Homo-oligomer: A and B are copies of this chain.
């Protein structure tokens, strides 16, 4: 067999992620590899920590980038904090809430499932009822921005509710970090994970996570050993500790971390508020254009994520045909529906670097063309 180098075309990525990334971040990936224990690399990791603290709006000492994708970040939060027999209230309003349940049950813990409709925010009342009915629950877990449906949930209120009932919170911020308001310390989030390839506009493969002091205490006071060696954050803590004496745990994905560092430098330079505003502005422009095309959103206006626009596929339109047409004619990728919404919805991402006027204009024009084929 004959194998050649792979030369991908330049796509415009407006799906649910990976999202478009800036030329600077892309270029940073090809910088020379250095050792993961090299003093210069350790210094860079310290900056990644500080920049992630800024992105998460937290002073949490334990704020790092896990060397694996967001789904490993989710698992890291659950397996470190939750022990067999613990009761966890899990809010499910899409694919990723469902995945949380699978994480809880594989630990041997009990998931109290609070279902809200797909395409809607988590229903606060139902969570409160579950908390009252389960005074022995230890955690409340929910997805801040459901990537499968494009709905945002009221993380601030959910956290306040959990605190009132003496529960720690585990929050999925895969799609929310850097795209909408997210205040880890102010809202009192205890364990949070995200992904590098969404609104941070870095390549996929890393998962920023942060644990509050309360969460760290829970880990330290565990009765049982963490079931995963790779995700055992009590071992990872010393690998990421900034005191210069780093103990080996695993080999960090050096070049991907160059990309994350660069993307966080860009976030810091733009400013979190400006970036959030930019997402909102581009979302409004997209929504206006979609309305003109007669396309309807799945999520009611007040619960919509600006960075992930889930829309109904118009009647009589062939899902796959349109997506292929966009990809082949315009190098434009939009996302398919996931789970219950497969075949019924498209997901248009406006994440990070992709949240730009030129992308919105192209997407609307290309979509209009495709629908008229």
Residues of A within 8 A of B (CB): 1, 3-11, 13, 15, 17-18, 20-21, 24, 26-38, 40-41, 44, 47, 50-51, 67-72, 74-75, 79, 99, 102-103, 105-107, 195, 197, 203-205, 225-230, 248-256, 258-259, 261-262, 264-265, 268-269, 327, 333, 336, 338
Q: How far is the CA of A18 from the CA of B248 in the complex (A)?
A: 13
Query: Is chain A's interface secondary structure helix, strand, loop, or mixed overall?
Result: loop
Give Cα A27 to B18, complex, Å: 20
B6 touches A32 (CB 8 A): no
* A204 and B252 within 8 A (CB): yes
Q: In the bound complex, how far is the Cα of B30 from the Cα of A284, in angstroms?
A: 32
Q: What residues of B have a CB within 8 angstroms of the CB of A261 in the complex?
A: 5-6
In whole angstroms, how far apart are the Cα atoms of A68 and B204 in the complex? 11
Minimal beta-carbon separation of A243 from chain B (angstroms): 16
**CB–CB B6/A31 < 8 A:** yes
Q: Is the CB of B229 within 8 A of A71?
A: yes
Q: Is the CB of A6 within 8 A of B205?
A: no
A35 to B347 Cα, complex, angstroms: 13
Residues of B within 8 A of A262 (CB): 5-6
Q: List 18 A-B contacts (CB under 8 A).
A: A3-B47, A3-B265, A6-B44, A6-B261, A8-B38, A11-B38, A17-B251, A69-B253, A70-B250, A71-B229, A72-B250, A74-B229, A99-B229, A204-B252, A205-B254, A227-B227, A253-B253, A253-B256
Given A26-B33, A37-B336, 12 additional A-B pairs, CB 8 A:
A6-B258, A17-B251, A18-B35, A18-B36, A26-B32, A30-B30, A38-B327, A67-B68, A67-B69, A99-B229, A106-B229, A205-B253
Least Cβ–Cβ distance between A80 and chain B, in angstroms: 13
User: Which of A195, A228, A248 has most B Cβ within 10 Å?
Assistant: A228
A11-B34, A11-B35 known; A203-B6 Cβ under 8 A: no
Chain B residue numbers with a CB within 8 Å of A32 are 8-11, 26
Q: Which residues of B contact A102 (CB under 8 A)?
A: 229
Q: Say how far A318's CB is from chain B's closest CB, in angstroms.
A: 17
